[in-house]
Structure 1
């Protein structure tokens, strides 16, 4: 079924997509292509809808699917490309060890072209090679490069990146607050000596068993009353 209705633009940008699901490749020999994507790239064959009335195979790994379609007339397909051109259409896979990938390709006898990209002191290694039908595959360390959106706000939101920090601006003169007044100095009284703090002498009525006399700073002076 072909959708011929006018499509209204989606508010806020493009289509509400979620993720890449699969790529589809038409091949001359289904058997050769399954062998390549399974044994070279590590994809796993998965169940394919039985209602299809044409030959093909589905494979899955790394979060995406590869859908292979057997060409109805392999002889009518364009000639297979023999020259590896890194600027040609291709699918790219991130790898953890470029040395391990190179070693495995040599063991399998797969011819490849090697490139290196340098950007601001960051290096990205790339390997390019063909599948059995000449469709190019890349293996790289592209994750070394940071993702820098050209549209900072919208791009950051789409890519799930934190928004850029706002630029610091000096507040306008009208918004400046006056400086608080300096504290008024408070006079502090001079410290009082211990002698001056003693209350003046006073008379104490005589009581039985107590001393009678004057209470002075140096002690109690008097005679005991019995």
Structure 2
């Protein structure tokens, strides 16, 4: 598999916010991120958060009133996705927090991925899923990636298929 830029992992995503404070509250109390120290040379309002091996950098908008209005929840729109242990537990918690969401289900050969989509305070779409139910199968290689929350294992595609077929 080619890696022309010798990338190692996703480091962070940056999100422009109408209110950094409201967004910090959301990412900490809804998604479980923790605030971390920002470099003191950054001379603009923002916050850095970290969890699950990735960072989220929140940047205060220079024109909060001019930010786009939140669109209806659309699973086919730009979003960031997090895997979870229990979709039912996430759905129950979203209901308790009175967060509007949309459910979706993807099926591949009898295996299902359940998805919940909702917005952060600025309209950034968030997906919570059990996406690790379906292996990542490259279209150009003879390998299967099975990705859990903390690691990806590459297996020979034939070995993966043999493990799926009962003898």
Does TM, normalized by the shorter one, top 0.5?
A: yes
Let me know the Cα RMSD of the aligned residues.
1.9
Query: Secondary structure at the residue paired with 2:75?
Result: coil
Query: Within 2, Cα distance between the matches of 1:153 and 1:101?
Result: 35
Task: Kindly state the Cα deviation for residue 20 of structure 1 after the two structures are TM-superposed.
Answer: 0.3
Is residue 85–residue 130 contact of structure 2 (8 Å, CA) maintained in 1?
A: yes
Equivalent-residue separation in structure 2 for 1:13 and 1:45 (angstroms): 31
Please identify which structure carries the higher strand content.
Answer: 2
Cα deviation for residue 147 of structure 1 reads 1.6
CA–CA distance in structure 2, aligned partners of residues 50 and 103 of structure 1:
40
Aligned partner of 1:161 in structure 2 is 154
| Structure with higher RCO (Cα < 8 A, 6+ apart) | 2
CA contact (8 A) 1:124 1:140 kept: yes
Correspondence list, 1:86-165, <5 A? 86-153=75-142, 161-164=154-157
SS at match of 2:132: helix
Task: Quote the residue 1:60 is aligned against.
Answer: 50
**CA deviation digits over 1:62-116, x for unaligned, max 9?**
11001000001111222222x1000000000000011110111111110000011
After superposition, give the CA deviation of every residue in 1:99-150 in whole Å (9 maximum; x if it has no partner).
1101111111100000111110001100000000011000001100012111
**1:185 matched residue in structure 2:** none
Q: Deviations over 1:121-180 (max 9, x none)?
A: 001100000000011000001100012111115887xx7513445xxxxxxxxxxxxxxx
Matched pairs, number: 152
TM-score by length of 2: 0.85
Write the distance in 1 (CA, Å) between the matches of 2:100 and 2:63: 27
